[in-house]
Amino acid sequence: MSQQAEKKEQDQAIKIGVIGAGGRMGRMLIEAVQDNAQTTLNAAIERQGSSLVGADAGEVAAIGHLDVQIVDDLKLVINDIDVLIDFSLPDATEQNMQVCAANGVAMVIGTTGFNEQQEQVLTEASKQIAIVYAGNYSTGVNLSLKLLGMAAKAFGTDADVEVIEAHHKHKIDAPSGTAYMMAEAVAEARGQNLKDVAVYGREGQTGERAAGTIGIHAIRGGEIIGDHTVMFIADGEVVEITHRARARMTFAAGAVRAATWVIEQSNGQYNMQDVLGLND
């Protein structure tokens, strides 16, 4: 390909910014952006004080020189991108949503653990820009959510439901965002509010299991990428729906796929099932 043709192709690509460029997920996102024919990395952002500020993002991600210098302030590069991918921490993402909303930049958010105030910031930002917000960007997980809704409608409250998730020892929030998504899929299909029926772990004299509740349990250890099982326990039979992640690149590639989709959408909040057409 000639340099002129290559430049034209790059100009037509969707320009992506990645938050947390030096982290494990950030490096995979950079690789996934460059692997996708529709996208190119135009900005890489790290926290203030990071030793990686000023380094080349491609070299940090071990995929070769990209001529994209890591910066420590989103505002410095906000005009250079079409979509920001943010898998960071709730407080940082809250600020990033406000910056993107003020500048008309779409977002793909994989941050989990938002509090009610941050959820409200998300709602307000989505009135100004298009945002895909999901606890998990895996195709398999989102297909599982569809199956969970079907199973929950079929069993109703005749089956007891337990959600069990396992992640690596470095994960700082529990339960996982995916576990919440799965529990919410069950509750919604049964016409329940998850806040009213969720039971988080059990200890001591808990008494009999209350009908209609949804148990949620978190396991942490080693380098488990992400395992999730939902059990429908009825009298005489048990149905289990399980998803096991075996490579983090699955999530990164899904997030980039969401970025290519969200750029075509009107303002609003979407999830990965929208991206995959599972809500049609």
Q: What does the angle CA 212 – CA 236 – CA 205 come to, to the nearest 5 degrees?
A: 50
CA distances from 172 to 49, 93, 98, 128, 182 (A): 21, 16, 24, 31, 19
Q: How far apart are CA 119 and CA 112, in angstroms?
A: 11
Q: What does the angle CA 171 – CA 175 – CA 181 come to, to the nearest 5 degrees?
A: 115
Q: What is the DSSP string of 251-271?
A: HHHHHHHHHHHHTTSPSEEE-
Residue 232 has which token pair? 């429908």
Residues in the chain: 280
> Parallel, antiparallel, or unpaired for β 83-86 and 14-19?
parallel
Q: Which residues are catalytic?
A: 167, 171
Residue 56 DSSP one-character state: B
Each residue of 217-236: b (16+ CB within 10 Å) or e? bbeeeeebebbbbbbbeeee
CB 52 within 8 A of CB 21: yes
Q: How far apart are CA 152 and CA 103, in angstroms?
A: 41
